[in-house]
């Protein structure tokens, strides 16, 4: 991928290194055995060695960096990435910052043995979807990033219109999820988040199918 903004790339590197530094700082503050899982009621139901919560997400973030950095080079439609290069870099930065937020939340829960601030975490997830939606309309057809259905990948116009709609749905839907989660009990907010994510995922998928059928019908009529 050409024309990389190296200042922005440096911010991404900071987002990768920061969780590792934070984990190193927290290492001596945690016992060898720590909580690793909570049930729907916020009760601890499993434990693990402290290495799991300290290293899992930072290492996943590093692996994801290389995946997202190199997939434009192996995508058969790699030239299209140049058309949304800046947005793609912003999306990568947003993803890595989101991982930092998840890591900080997990570490706090691990240290305190409580899922305190769950509503704020869920609100953060909603904002994450909103920020991704903000860049979705800029995405160009490719095989790895975006709403990749058989219908969007088969027709450029379907791709364009699906991502225009999907971007609005994710942006406003994410904001709505974020706001609602702050005013309901945390368990309710969890179910709302799950239901909201399902809705945000399926609306663009269904729309892409309907739009493909519409464009195909019109094309057949014009022949």
Structure confidence at residue 158 as a pLDDT band (50, 70, 90): very high
Token readout for 63 is 């692996």
Mean pLDDT (whole number) for 72-87: 94
Residue 4 has a pLDDT of 80
Q: Where are the domains of the chain?
A: 1-114, 117-223
Q: What percent of the chain has pLDDT over 90?
A: 76
DSSP count for the chain of H helices, then E strands: 7, 2
Model confidence at 177: pLDDT above 80: yes
Residue 2 has a pLDDT of 63
pTM listed for this prediction:
0.91
CA distances from 200 to 125, 138, 190, 205, 207 (A): 13, 18, 15, 9, 11
Q: Provide the mean pLDDT of the chain.
A: 92
Q: Which residues contact 18 (CB under 8 A, 6 or more apart)?
A: 100
Residue 115 has a pLDDT of 79
CA distances from 51 to 8, 25, 37, 63, 100 (A): 30, 13, 14, 17, 17
Cα(118)–Cα(130) distance, integer angstroms: 19
Mean pLDDT (whole number) for 186-200: 94
At 144, phi and psi to the nearest 5?
-125, -30
The string of pLDDT tens digits covering residues 40-50 is 777 788 889 99
Structure confidence at residue 81 as a pLDDT band (50, 70, 90): very high
Greatest mean pLDDT among 21-30, 48-57, 156-165 lies in: 156-165
Structure confidence at residue 20 as a pLDDT band (50, 70, 90): very high
- Contact 107/33 with Cβ under 8 angstroms? no
The string of pLDDT tens digits covering residues 100-147 is 999 999 888 888 878 778 899 999 999 999 999 999 999 999 999 999
């Amino acid at each position: 991928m050409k024309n990389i903004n190296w200042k922005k790339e440096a911010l991404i590197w900071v987002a990768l290194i920061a969780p590792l530094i934070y984990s190193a700082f927290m290492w001596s503050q945690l016992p060898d055995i720590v909580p690793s899982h909570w049930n729907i009621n916020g009760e601890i139901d499993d434990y693990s060695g402290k290495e799991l919560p300290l290293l899992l997400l930072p290492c996943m973030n590093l692996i994801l960096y290389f995946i997202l950095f190199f997939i434009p080079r192996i995508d058969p439609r790699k030239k299209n990435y140049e058309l949304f290069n800046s947005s793609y870099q912003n999306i990568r930065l947003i993803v890595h910052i989101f991982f930092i937020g998840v890591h900080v939340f997990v570490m706090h829960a691990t240290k305190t043995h409580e899922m305190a601030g769950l509503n704020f975490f869920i609100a953060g997830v909603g904002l994450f979807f909103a920020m991704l939606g903000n860049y979705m309309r800029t995405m160009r057809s490719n095989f790895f990033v975006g709403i990749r259905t058989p219908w969007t990948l088969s027709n450029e116009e379907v791709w364009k219109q699906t991502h225009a709609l999907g971007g609005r749905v994710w942006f406003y839907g994410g904001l709505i999820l974020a706001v609602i989660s702050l005013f309901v009990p945390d368990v309710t907010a969890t179910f709302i988040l799950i239901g909201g994510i399902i809705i945000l995922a399926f609306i663009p998928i269904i729309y892409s199918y309907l739009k493909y059928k519409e464009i195909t019908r019109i094309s057949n009529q014009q022949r």
